[in-house]
């Protein structure tokens, strides 16, 4: 099934994309247009739809929040097909410069990202008459970058938010870094949260604050038990934390609640 839905946020348009070999997609992903500026590019499985959109409404610049396949999947095709600049962080540029391996579930749900050379965003990035301020927000991935547009009160947050209560982590996510990143963006003056999966046209800052509170509470509870020497599985039992079994099996354990617990333990000072 091919899924495409357009969302209107005034001057910004959202394109929600998803794909599944059978039935409804497990997850959809948002990319955004502000005039000729495209923020993230969606998944490779939906390339015909993304390229058709770019042809009908010309794109002259692309901003990537991070390298993950559902956000960068069509960057190479857009750059090659329309000769536009693709911007991202130095870490994103390094990751996308050469092919990298992904799990079978990532091939299934999103498809692979083609390697490409991207431009590292300059200190002053003005596009379509407004200034996009890159904000390094690691935790979900080490290269993760949000883009703040102060004059409109917008934050293009990639996967920094996702939801108020997170049910699982990828194996490489770092909860301590996410907490720092959430605190960082809360110092910015924004209301609209252009999230990669669950946008908030209003009260976006409150949504970020709610996620921060949840992660801080989670971290504190897990850390308290971990300091007693309690193992991951026992911590999950003591805190009544439940795995999303289907997700964990589909992803070969690369995505799980246990990864959240493990991320807390890894961040604690080692004795």
Whole-angstrom distance, CA of residue 147 vs CA of residue 88: 10
Q: Report the relative pairing of strands 130-136 and 37-39 from DSSP bridges.
A: unpaired
Q: What is the DSSP string of 126-175?
A: EETTEEEEEEE--SSSTT-EEEEETTTTEEEEETS-S-SS---EETT--H
Give the pLDDT confidence of 162-180 residue by residue, as tens digits: 999 999 999 999 999 999 9
Indicate if the pLDDT at residue 271 is higher than 70. Answer: no
Give the pLDDT confidence of 14-64 residue by residue, as tens digits: 999 999 998 999 899 999 999 999 999 999 999 999 999 999 999 999 999
Stretch 110-135: mean pLDDT: 95
**Strands, DSSP E only, in the chain?**
2-9, 12-19, 29-34, 37-39, 61-63, 85-88, 119-120, 125-127, 130-136, 145-149, 154-158, 169-170, 192-195, 255-256
2-217 — its CATH code?
3.60.15.10
Helix H or strand E encompassing 48: helix 47-56
pLDDT of residue 16: 97
Instruction: Spell out the domain ranges in the chain.
Output: 2-217
User: Which tokens is 150 given?
Assistant: 């102060």
Contact yes or no for 170/123 (Cβ under 8 A):
no
Indicate if the pLDDT at residue 145 is higher than 90. Answer: yes
Indicate if the pLDDT at residue 268 is higher than 70. Answer: yes
Indicate if the pLDDT at residue 198 is higher than 80. Answer: yes
Contact yes or no for 86/31 (Cβ under 8 A):
no
Per-residue pLDDT band for 124 (boundaries 50, 70, 90) equals confident
Give the pLDDT confidence of 216-251 residue by residue, as tens digits: 999 999 999 999 999 999 999 999 999 999 999 999
pLDDT of residue 270: 79
Q: Which residues of 62-77 are buried (b: 16+ CB within 10 A; e: fewer)?
A: bbbbbbbbbbbbbbbb
Q: What's the pTM?
A: 0.96
């Amino acid at each position: 099934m091919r899924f495409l839905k357009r969302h209107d946020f005034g001057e910004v348009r959202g394109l929600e994309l998803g794909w599944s070999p059978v039935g409804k997609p497990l997850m959809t992903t948002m990319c955004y247009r502000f005039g000729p500026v495209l923020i993230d590019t969606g998944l490779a499985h939906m390339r015909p739809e993304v390229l058709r959109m770019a042809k009908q409404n010309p794109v002259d610049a692309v901003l990537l929040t991070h390298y993950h396949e559902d956000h960068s999947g069509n960057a190479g095709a857009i750059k090659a097909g329309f000769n536009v600049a693709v911007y991202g962080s130095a870490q994103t540029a390094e990751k996308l410069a050469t092919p990298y391996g992904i799990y079978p579930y990532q091939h299934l749900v999103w498809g692979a990202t083609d390697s490409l050379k991207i431009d590292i965003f300059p200190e002053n990035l003005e596009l379509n008459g407004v200034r996009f301020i890159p904000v390094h927000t690691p935790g979900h991935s080490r290269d993760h970058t949000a883009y703040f547009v102060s004059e409109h009160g917008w934050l293009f947050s990639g996967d920094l938010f996702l939801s108020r209560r997170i049910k699982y982590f990828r194996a490489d996510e770092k909860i301590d870094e996410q907490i720092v990143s959430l605190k960082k963006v809360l110092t910015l003056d924004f209301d609209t949260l252009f999230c990669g999966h669950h946008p908030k046209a209003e009260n976006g800052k409150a949504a970020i604050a709610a996620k921060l509170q949840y992660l801080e509470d989670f971290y504190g509870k897990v850390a308290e038990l971990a300091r007693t020497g309690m193992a991951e599985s026992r911590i999950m039992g003591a805190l009544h934390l439940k795995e999303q079994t289907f997700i964990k099996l589909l992803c070969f354990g690369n995505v799980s609640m246990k990864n959240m617990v493990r991320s807390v333990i890894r961040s604690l000072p080692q004795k």
